């Protein structure tokens, strides 16, 4: 094999070793910490929203289509991690929990916009602002869980 | 000979399609919300655990030489919410010449700040090993000019470049508009080449900001349009806009509910050092279960 060929093989292997290692490490970490601890760390993010963000009102709260549109957006972008019914998975916490359901629309909008990057939730500011409010409308329409997971 | 060229081109296309098909059969998918840029990067990274498989083409006109069709495949993986790693495989067909593999790139992007700010920085670091025949024009840097691309493949492919490329990506989304600026600094690790610089600017917006209540292919919110401009800024000894090429391009993306994204970008050279016309297009699909699938193989959650 030529030196170019060898280098190609080495770098491709290294790249994919990284790509493969990341989920494995994540899986190991997951085994090491109970999910309620992880979930609480994410829920704690709700308390970090600045006051200005907390008091923001949902401009689409009277929009009859907002919940349906939000449900579509949730299905497309959120259900993979939070579950199809927002019940939570091993990757992300339930959005039916009291802590989420009792949060103000402004708080949910703030968390959606900023993500919880250290805990694996990406920023969603790439969705235009009205779409993030539609998602908030959908989240607020979900029935609260009978028992909070905390 | 013509038959051989046709076969090589067909083989490369089939290879890319085979990759896409293989990935499609292995993992689930999620609708992408992809930016329309071909050259410029915004500050959004791949979602953690997702693999995006992309194929891009660039058709370029060439004065004093043969027009070309350069193509590349990208495998973009969201390792974490703050780190995306990406592998590129490049190739090109120069008309009346031949089709060749021209190299690979390994790119990493790191989000520097946890939350959204007025401007959001992302650090980009890439290692690339390409031949002198590489024509994908994924960025323009240093004193890149059109005549560099007129060299026949048989000669150009003998030149091997090992480059370290860094970029500072700055981006902001406001009222649906994304504005992005990329500063590029590149060092060719072979020989005593100086640091070379380049830039890319982009602006884009979805045609509608609210989502429809029903899933649809032709809804306006699925289309994103904008423009980008990119070019070289010389090197550390001769910095500036002169003696380099510069381009302006319209960009458009169509995010389909069937999980595919199509992109189209006609671009135009802004000076005599630039190719007169570049037509770029691309297709991509995002697979959200890839990380889980790999973790499952090693006993993690699936």
| Contact A2/B at CB under 8 A | no
For the record, the structure tokens of A113 come out as 């916009």
Number of domains within chain A:
2
List the domain range (segments joined by +) for residue A47.
34-141
Give the Cα separation of B278 and A112 in Å (integer): 38
For residues A16 and B87, the answer to whether their CB atoms sit within 8 Å is: yes
* Vertex B280: Cα angle to B231 and A8 (nearest 5): 80
pLDDT band at B150 (very low <50, low <70, confident <90, very high): very high
Q: Is the pLDDT of residue B30 over 80?
A: no
SS3 content of chain B, % helix, strand, coil (to 5): 15, 50, 35
Q: Is the pLDDT of residue A6 over 70?
A: no
Q: Domain for residue B302, yes or no?
A: no
Give the Cα separation of A18 and B86 in Å (integer): 10
Q: Write the burial class of residue B162 (CB in 10 Å: 0-12 exposed, 13-18 middle, 19+ buried).
A: middle
Phi and psi, residue A46, nearest 5°: -60, -30
Percent of chain B scoring above 90 in pLDDT = 79
* Vertex B148: Cα angle to B147 and B154 (nearest 5): 115
What pLDDT score does A91 carry?
Answer: 87
For the record, the structure tokens of B83 come out as 């780190």
Give the Cα separation of A126 and A150 in Å (integer): 30
Are residues A121 and A68 located together in one domain of the fold? yes
A89: nearest CA in chain B? B301
pLDDT band at B192 (very low <50, low <70, confident <90, very high): confident
What pLDDT score does A72 carry?
Answer: 94
Count of pairs with CB atoms under 8 A, one residue in A, one in B: 137
B255: nearest CA in chain A? A76
Q: Is the pLDDT of residue A22 over 70?
A: no
The SS3 assignment for B110 reads strand
Query: Which chain A positions have a beta carbon within 8 Å of B211's beta carbon?
Result: 69-70, 72-73, 130-131, 134
Are residues A136 and A68 located together in one domain of the fold? yes
What pLDDT score does B85 carry?
Answer: 96
Are residues A45 and A4 located together in one domain of the fold? no
The SS3 assignment for B96 reads coil
DSSP 8-state secondary structure symbol assigned to residue B239: B
How many CB atoms lie under 10 A from the CB of residue A101?
17
What pLDDT score does B25 carry?
Answer: 43
> How far B205 CA lies from chain A's nearest CA (Å)?
9
**Which range among B167-171, B198-202, B292-296 shows the weakest confidence by mean pLDDT?**
B292-296
Q: Is the pLDDT of residue B90 over 60?
A: yes
Give the Cα separation of B119 and B128 in Å (integer): 28
pLDDT band at A7 (very low <50, low <70, confident <90, very high): low
For the record, the structure tokens of B122 come out as 């992302």
Could you report the per-residue pLDDT of B270-281, keeping only the tens digit for each?
999 999 999 999
pLDDT band at A39 (very low <50, low <70, confident <90, very high): confident
Q: Domain for residue B293, yes or no?
A: yes
Are residues A27 and A47 located together in one domain of the fold? no
Are residues A77 and A17 located together in one domain of the fold? no
> How far A32 CA lies from chain B's nearest CA (Å)?
12
Q: Domain for residue A150, yes or no?
A: no
Q: Which of A10, A11, A22 to mutate to test the interface with B (most CBs of B within 10 A)?
A: A22
Give the Cα separation of B181 and B124 in Å (integer): 13
List the domain range (segments joined by +) for residue B291.
2-297
Helix (H) or strand (E) holding B191: none
pLDDT band at A103 (very low <50, low <70, confident <90, very high): very high
For residues B141 and B171, the answer to whether their CB atoms sit within 8 Å is: no
Number of domains within chain B:
1
What pLDDT score does A25 carry?
Answer: 57
Residues 6+ apart with CB under 8 A from B151: B65, B132, B133
What pLDDT score does B1 carry?
Answer: 44
pLDDT band at B190 (very low <50, low <70, confident <90, very high): confident
A69: nearest CA in chain B? B213
Residues 6+ apart with CB under 8 A from B211: A69, A70, A72, A73, A130, A131, A134, B219, B221
| Contact A32/B at CB under 8 A | no
What's the first-to-final CA gap in chain A, in angstroms? 58
**Which range among B19-33, B51-65, B83-97, B255-269 shows the weakest confidence by mean pLDDT?**
B19-33
> How far A33 CA lies from chain B's nearest CA (Å)?
13
Q: Domain for residue B258, yes or no?
A: yes
Q: In this structure, what is the dihedral angle of CA atoms B144, B148, B153, B156, given to the nearest 10 degrees?
A: -80
Identify the bridge partners of residue B131 per DSSP, sorted by sequence position: B160
- CATH code for the domain in which residue B124 is found: 2.40.160.40
Are residues A94 and A46 located together in one domain of the fold? yes
Choose between A2 and B284: higher pLDDT.
B284
pLDDT band at A40 (very low <50, low <70, confident <90, very high): confident
Q: Write the burial class of residue B164 (CB in 10 Å: 0-12 exposed, 13-18 middle, 19+ buried).
A: middle
Are residues A89 and A102 located together in one domain of the fold? yes
Are residues A78 and A38 located together in one domain of the fold? yes
Q: Domain for residue B236, yes or no?
A: yes
Q: Domain for residue B242, yes or no?
A: yes
Q: Is the pLDDT of residue A18 over 90?
A: no
Mean pLDDT of chain B: 89
Mean pLDDT of chain A: 81
pLDDT band at B207 (very low <50, low <70, confident <90, very high): very high
What pLDDT score does B59 carry?
Answer: 97
Angstrom CA distances, B90 to B9, B165, B205, stand at 13, 16, 29
Query: Which chain B positions have a beta carbon within 8 Å of A27's beta carbon?
Result: 295, 298-301
- ipTM for the predicted complex: 0.85
Are residues A28 and A47 located together in one domain of the fold? no
How many CB atoms lie under 10 A from the CB of residue A12?
15
- CATH code for the domain in which residue A69 is found: 1.10.760.10
pLDDT band at B135 (very low <50, low <70, confident <90, very high): very high
pLDDT band at A42 (very low <50, low <70, confident <90, very high): confident
Q: Which of B104, B178, B295 lies closest to A12 in CB terms?
A: B104
Q: Domain for residue A146, yes or no?
A: no
Choose between B64 and B226: higher pLDDT.
B226
The SS3 assignment for B117 reads coil
Choose among B39, B84, B72: nearest CA to B283.
B72
Helices and strands (H, E) in chain A, number of each type: 8, 0
The predicted model scores a pTM of 0.85
Identify the bridge partners of residue B281 per DSSP, sorted by sequence position: B57, B264
Q: Domain for residue A126, yes or no?
A: yes
What's the first-to-final CA gap in chain B, in angstroms? 49
């Amino acid at each position: 094999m030529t030196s170019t060929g060898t280098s190609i093989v080495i770098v491709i292997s290294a790249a994919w070793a990284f790509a493969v290692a990341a989920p494995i490490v994540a899986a190991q970490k997951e085994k090491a910490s109970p999910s309620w601890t992880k979930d609480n760390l994410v829920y704690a993010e709700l308390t970090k929203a600045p006051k200005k963000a907390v008091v923001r009102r949902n401009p689409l709260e009277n929009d009859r289509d907002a919940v349906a549109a939000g449900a579509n957006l949730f299905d497309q972008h959120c259900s993979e991690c939070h579950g199809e019914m927002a019940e939570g998975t091993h990757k992300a916490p339930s959005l039916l929990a009291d802590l989420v359901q009792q949060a103000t629309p402004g708080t949910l909008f703030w968390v959606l916009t900023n993500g919880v990057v250290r805990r694996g939730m990406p920023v969603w500011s790439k969705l235009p602002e009205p779409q993030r409010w539609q998602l908030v409308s959908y989240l607020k329409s979900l029935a609260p869980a009978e028992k909070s997971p905390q | 000979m013509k038959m051989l060229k046709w076969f090589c081109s067909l083989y490369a296309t089939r290879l890319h399609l085979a990759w896409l098909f293989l990935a499609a059969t292995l993992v689930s998918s999620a609708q992408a919300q992809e930016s329309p840029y071909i050259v410029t990067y915004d500050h959004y990274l791949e979602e953690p655990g997702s693999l995006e498989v992309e194929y891009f083409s660039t058709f370029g006109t060439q004065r004093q030489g043969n027009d070309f069709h350069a193509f590349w495949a990208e495998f973009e993986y969201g390792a974490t919410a703050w780190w995306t790693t990406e592998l590129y495989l490049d190739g090109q067909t120069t008309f009346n010449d031949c089709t060749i593999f021209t190299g690979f790139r390994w790119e990493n992007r790191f989000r520097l700040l946890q939350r959204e700010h007025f401007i959001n920085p992302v650090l980009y670091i890439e290692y690339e090993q390409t031949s002198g025949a590489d024509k994908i024009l994924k960025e323009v840097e240093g004193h890149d000019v059109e005549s560099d691309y007129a060299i026949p493949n048989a000669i150009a492919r003998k030149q091997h470049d090992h480059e370290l490329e860094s970029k500072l990506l700055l981006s902001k989304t406001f009222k649906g508009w994304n504005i992005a600026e990329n500063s590029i600094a590149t060092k060719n690790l072979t020989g005593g080449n100086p640091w070379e610089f380049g830039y890319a600017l982009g602006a884009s917006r979805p045609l509608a900001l609210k989502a429809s209540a029903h899933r649809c292919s032709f809804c306006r919110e699925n289309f994103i349009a904008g423009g980008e401009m990119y070019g070289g800024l010389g090197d550390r000894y001769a910095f500036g806009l002169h003696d380099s090429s510069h381009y302006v391009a319209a960009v458009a993306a169509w995010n389909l509910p069937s999980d595919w994204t199509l992109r189209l970008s006609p671009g135009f050279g802004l000076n005599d050092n630039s190719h007169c016309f570049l037509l770029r297009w691309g297709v991509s699909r995002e697979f959200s279960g890839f990380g889980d699938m790999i973790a499952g193989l090693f006993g993690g959650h699936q």
